Structure formats: structure tokens, C-alpha cells
Chain A
Amino acid sequence: MHDLRELYEEVILDHNRSPRNFGRRPAECNRTAHGHNPLCGDQVEVSMTFRGGVIEDISFSGEGCAISTASASLMTQALKGRSGEEAQSLFDAMHAVLVNDEPPDLERLGKLGALLGVKDFPMRVKCATLPWHTMGAALAGRDTPVTTE
């Protein structure tokens, strides 16, 4: 039960209930990518306005579980206004913690730390990382859909 409370922390539930930067594409959006988790049917679209090496605006849409929705929502908040390199490096940091089980730098992760509860649920890690992989594809200008499998 302890684990479950960490997985579904207040921040996650809040972002699932009212996802931020959700459902609209940014004005002058010039990068979009799609992600899909065929195992559970999660679909996510990440769109951004990327200019002068900076993510000026970013949003997402789609249908997914609480973990993927909250992860996408928190991600858009964390990345708005960041440079492409910063975004990539934050993605790498999340990946290192969630997938490679490296110790987290909580200060750097900030609110994203709420996603760490997923580590105890190996079947759910992909739910948390899907929006990030999709963001990475959008940033790189790849429009082939990202899949978790």
C-alpha cells in the first residue's frame, strides 16, 4: 500500500485530473511527434514551437493512464522555455533514474520527482517514459511514431 501511495501521489492525481498544456497545439507549432504504447493502447501527441534553439511553447494531447498523462503534463511544464539541449539532458536524467535505476538528483528534477514512485512498478515505467520519448522525437524532427515496444 505504501508503494501505491507513492505511485499515485497527490501531484500525479492532480495532473491526471487537470493536465496542463493539454489538448491544444501551441501557436506557430513547428514540431510534432506521436507516441504509442501498443500494450495498453496509450496514445500521446507532443507538439512544440521550437525557435532559436528554444522550446518556446509545448503541449500534448492523447489518451492514457494517470502515469502517462501526469508525466506528459509535468514534462510540458518543466520544458517550456528551455533550450533543446536542456530538454534533452533532463530527458536523459529522467531516463537514468527510471530505467537505469540511478539515484535521483531531486533538486534538479523538481516537481518531476513525483514520477519516481513508478520505479517500484516495472510494468508501468514505460507509461512514464512514453511522453519523453515522444518529446525527444519531436525535438529531433522525427515524425515516425514512437512506440514503447
Chain B
Amino acid sequence: MSTPPRTGEAGPAFDVEAIRADFPALHQEVKGRPLAYLDNGATSQKPRAVIEALRDYYEQDNSNVHRGVHTLSERATAAYEGTREKVRSFLNAADSREIVFARGTTEAINLVANSFVRPRLGEGDEIVISHMEHHSNIVPWQLLCEQTGAKLRVVPIDDDGVLEIDEYLAMLGPRTRFVSMTHVANSLGTVNPVREIIEAAHAEGAPVMLDAAQSVPHIATDVQALGCDFLAFSAHKVLGPTGIGVLHGKMEHLEAMAPWQAGGDMILAVTFEKTTWNAVPYRFEAGTPNIADTIAMGVGLDYLRGLGLDRVAAFEHDLLAYATERLGAIPGVRIFGNAPDKSSILSFAIEGVHAHDVGTILDSEGVAVRTGHHCTMPVMARFEVPAMARASLAFYNTRADIDALAGGVEKVREVFRLNR
């Protein structure tokens, strides 16, 4: 594993106990054991500030946005649009109008597939993705290809779960219309060399979308430095509520895109003869938006920024190394994904035991992990397993959580009589 970048000056010590105090859901017992929440890749827990932002909004500011001149509507609109600026700053985007609020990563990818890529796609054109994508970054492209006669090209991964970059470079060509790739793979933890991926695609004139659902919570994201054309993430994986997320798109692209869904808020003028679309980004936000959750998402991003993403990355890096060492030392444990550059995710199987049984036994020890195919069935096929168990870490996890995980895995071996 490569060492993540560290901030120049040493910040104050990373006080996990103080941080944990901010997360009410962490302080509970499950099956009589202290909860070890290691399913952050599925969704993170929420700091009290986010929960309070939701309540405060409904108790104090609740009203519709962009519509009224009354005080509450003004407050709601200011908080909602203020969040756009927060997200811009979080991603270091050039302009807050480049920030489109969507329901989540899935909706953002579908929006780009339908509004940006579809009109530019013809028979024989190619879209490039990788073998480690989440289903939400496979199926929209597959559908689009079926409907247009375009071809889906899939970059293979090696036995360590690393993208075969040479294959990718060889795949790019004049027929490449679009590349959509995950920044961090949700079932393997692989951090992809996204700068290189983007530069190579641009050299062939192909725009690139990054699925940043698993990277935004763990790695500082600078869309200008990355040079990506589109980027998507979900608030619920990064301390915020469910049902809201972000699409970042370069202004030139968004300006050139037609709306995907139509209704109120996305128009400037409507007659029965012709409707004039509203400006970017409102053009893509038809209907009354998810106001409270958007505002709370901004509060979650503020929280993460307050901790410092470099410190978060360094802390999680140490914890992942510890977890890898602990699980790796248990006989019969197979770890999937051994990329040199990995983030926060540890997928594994126990020889002779189905992941579903592992999940149940870990739960009985208070340890929450994901089990199943993680919406990455091609990855399961690549490693020839029906399912994996996945521990995914956050900055509020401790070595005690990892010890509980390792103890749980020992328990699985005991229940299944593997020690004999």
C-alpha cells in the first residue's frame, strides 16, 4: 500500500473517541455486544450535526425554494443554494453552477448517460468501463449500447484487483465516445490511476466520468486537478442523508445538454407551443428538490472537511493495514483486492463457509459487514466466488472494531468446526 499524502504541518492528534462522540448510532449494543460498524461502504453513519440540520430545517425554515418572496422561502433558498457553493468548494469546482443535485450516484450516471452521451452515440461507437464497476456504472451504459448499437468495452483487472492499464490504453481509439470509471472500487478497494485514465481518454477526444461514490468519503477530491468531465457521488456514503447526491459536470458540457426530466423549476417560460429551458444547473433539477437532505449533505461535507481529508486518509490507511494483517493471519481467510493503492475496503472469504453465514455469525458478535455480491457480480465471477464478506472502514472506526471483526471470524471457524 502506498502512503497517502500527509499535510505539511502536523495537525492536532486525531482523537477518535471525541469523533465517535459525534455519532449517536455508534453507541449501541447489537446482540449484547458493542456495535462494530464496518459497513461504511454501503452507507456511513451520520454525525449529530447532520441529524440536527434536518430537524432544524423542518422546525425553522421549511418552505419551498426558488418560489416565494416570504422570509422562510428566502431562508430555505439561501441554505439550499449555499450548499451548492459548499459542494463547489469541497470539490474545488470552477463554478457553483457546475454542481447539479441528484438523487445519488446512480441517478447522476443515468442523467449523463441519457442527456450527454446518448445524443453523441452511434452504431459502432464505443463506451469504456472497467471490470470492477458497481452495477450502477454498468447497466446504464449497457442499456444505452443496446438502444444505439454502440459497443461496451470492459477493461480487465488482474488477480490483485488492479486495472490492466495497458489494456485500457490499447482499447482507446477513434471510436471511443465516452469513458466511465470508478475512482475507488467498492468491492476491492482498488484506487484507480484516474489522472492517467483521464489524460489518455482526452488524448483520444473522449470525455470521462468518474464514479466517486467510494472515493469522496476517503480521498480529497479536486475536479480541476483531476480534469474529469463528470463526477458523481452520494451523500449517504459521506455522512449525509439518503436520497441526495451530486453530479459535477464541466460547464461546457452541461450547457450543451438537454434536460432529462421535465417539470417545474427546470423551465424559464412555458407556452403550449414552446418551453424555454432554465439555465444550468436548474435545467437538471425538475420539480421541488430534496431541500432538507441537500442542506444536511452540506453539513456532512463541512464535518469531513473540518477533520481534514488528508488526516482521515492517513488514519484509515493505518487501520486498513492493521485489519489486513489481523485477518490475513487467520487460517483459511482469503482476501480479495491486493492493489498497492487501496482505500478503506477489505473483502474476504473464509474457506468452506458461505459469505452469508459469515455475515450472520459476525452480526451475532455485534460486527456489521456487508455480505453478498456488493452489486459487482462481474467481480464475483472474476474471482470465481458467489459472494464475499466486506469490511469497509471509516475514520470513526477503531482497532477495537477490527479486533471484534477478527474475533468474529474466529467465531465463524469455531461454529463451522474449522479448527479441528
A interface residues (Cβ-Cβ under 8 A, vs B): 1, 3-5, 7-8, 13, 39-43, 63-67, 69, 121, 123-124, 127
Contacts of B377 in A (CB 8 A): 41
**Top-6 shortest CB links A-B:** A65-B354, A65-B356, A41-B386, A40-B356, A41-B387, A66-B357
Task: Give B364's nearest chain A residue, CB to CB.
Answer: A4
Task: Give A8's nearest chain B residue, CB to CB.
Answer: B415
Task: Give A39's nearest chain B residue, CB to CB.
Answer: B372
Cβ of A124 to closest chain B Cβ, rounded Å? 6
Contacts of A1 in B (CB 8 A): 364
Task: Give A40's nearest chain B residue, CB to CB.
Answer: B356
Asked whether A124 lies within 8 Å of B386 as measured between CB atoms, the reply is: no
Cβ of B400 to closest chain A Cβ, rounded Å? 20
Task: Give A43's nearest chain B residue, CB to CB.
Answer: B386
Is B42 part of the contact surface with A, judged by Cβ < 8 Å?
no
Asked whether A40 lies within 8 Å of B387 as measured between CB atoms, the reply is: yes
Q: Which of A5, A39, A43, A69 has the most CB of B within 10 A?
A: A39
Cβ of B420 to closest chain A Cβ, rounded Å? 12
- Give the complex CA separation of A42 and B355 in angstroms: 10
22 A-B interface contacts by CB (under 8 A): A4-B360, A4-B361, A4-B364, A8-B361, A8-B415, A13-B416, A40-B354, A40-B355, A40-B356, A40-B387, A42-B356, A43-B386, A63-B386, A64-B354, A64-B356, A65-B356, A66-B353, A67-B356, A69-B354, A121-B360, A123-B360, A127-B356
Cβ of A25 to closest chain B Cβ, rounded Å? 21
Also in contact, A13 and B417, with CB within 8 A (given A39-B372, A40-B372, A63-B386)? yes
Contacts of A41 in B (CB 8 A): 372-373, 377, 380, 386-387
- Give the complex CA separation of A5 and B417 in angstroms: 12
Also in contact, A66 and B386, with CB within 8 A (given A4-B415, A13-B416, A40-B371)? no
Asked whether A7 lies within 8 Å of B360 as measured between CB atoms, the reply is: yes
Task: Give B388's nearest chain A residue, CB to CB.
Answer: A41
Also in contact, A124 and B372, with CB within 8 A (given A13-B417, A40-B355, A42-B386)? no
Q: Which of A4, A43, A67, A121 has the most CB of B within 10 A?
A: A4
For chain B, residues 359 to 383, give those with C-beta under 8 angstroms from any C-beta of chain A: 360-361, 364, 371-373, 377, 380
Task: Give B377's nearest chain A residue, CB to CB.
Answer: A41
Asked whether B357 lies within 8 Å of A67 as measured between CB atoms, the reply is: yes
Contacts of A63 in B (CB 8 A): 386
Asked whether A124 lies within 8 Å of B356 as measured between CB atoms, the reply is: yes
Cβ of A3 to closest chain B Cβ, rounded Å? 7
Q: CB within 8 A of A65: which of B357, B373, B415? A: B357
Contacts of A13 in B (CB 8 A): 416-417
Task: Give B412's nearest chain A residue, CB to CB.
Answer: A8
Contacts of A67 in B (CB 8 A): 356-357
Contacts of A64 in B (CB 8 A): 354, 356, 386
Asked whether A124 lies within 8 Å of B360 as measured between CB atoms, the reply is: yes
Asked whether B416 lies within 8 Å of A8 as measured between CB atoms, the reply is: yes
- Give the complex CA separation of A51 and B195 in angstroms: 65
- Give the complex CA separation of A4 and B414 in angstroms: 12
Contacts of B360 in A (CB 8 A): 4, 7, 121, 123-124
Contacts of A42 in B (CB 8 A): 356, 386
Contacts of A8 in B (CB 8 A): 357, 361, 415-416
- Give the complex CA separation of A64 and B353 in angstroms: 10
19 further contact pairs, Cβ within 8 A, besides A4-B364, A41-B373: A4-B360, A8-B357, A8-B361, A8-B415, A8-B416, A40-B355, A40-B386, A41-B377, A41-B380, A41-B386, A42-B356, A42-B386, A64-B356, A64-B386, A65-B354, A66-B354, A123-B360, A124-B356, A127-B356
- Give the complex CA separation of A55 and B355 in angstroms: 33
For chain B, residues 369 to 415, give those with C-beta under 8 angstroms from any C-beta of chain A: 371-373, 377, 380, 386-387, 415
Cβ of A35 to closest chain B Cβ, rounded Å? 14
Contacts of B417 in A (CB 8 A): 13
- Give the complex CA separation of A43 and B417 in angstroms: 25
- Give the complex CA separation of A4 and B373 in angstroms: 24
Contacts of A69 in B (CB 8 A): 354
- Give the complex CA separation of A65 and B372 in angstroms: 11
Cβ of B393 to closest chain A Cβ, rounded Å? 23
Q: CB within 8 A of A3: which of B353, B357, B364, B373? A: B364
Contacts of A123 in B (CB 8 A): 360
- Give the complex CA separation of A5 and B372 in angstroms: 23
- Give the complex CA separation of A40 and B377 in angstroms: 11
Q: Which of A4, A65, A66, A123 has the most CB of B within 10 A?
A: A65
Contacts of A40 in B (CB 8 A): 354-356, 371-372, 386-387
- Give the complex CA separation of A124 and B357 in angstroms: 9
- Give the complex CA separation of A122 and B357 in angstroms: 13
Cβ of B361 to closest chain A Cβ, rounded Å? 6
Task: Give A62's nearest chain B residue, CB to CB.
Answer: B386
Contacts of A3 in B (CB 8 A): 364
- Give the complex CA separation of A41 and B385 in angstroms: 10
Cβ of B386 to closest chain A Cβ, rounded Å? 4
Contacts of B380 in A (CB 8 A): 41
Task: Give B354's nearest chain A residue, CB to CB.
Answer: A65
Contacts of B387 in A (CB 8 A): 40-41
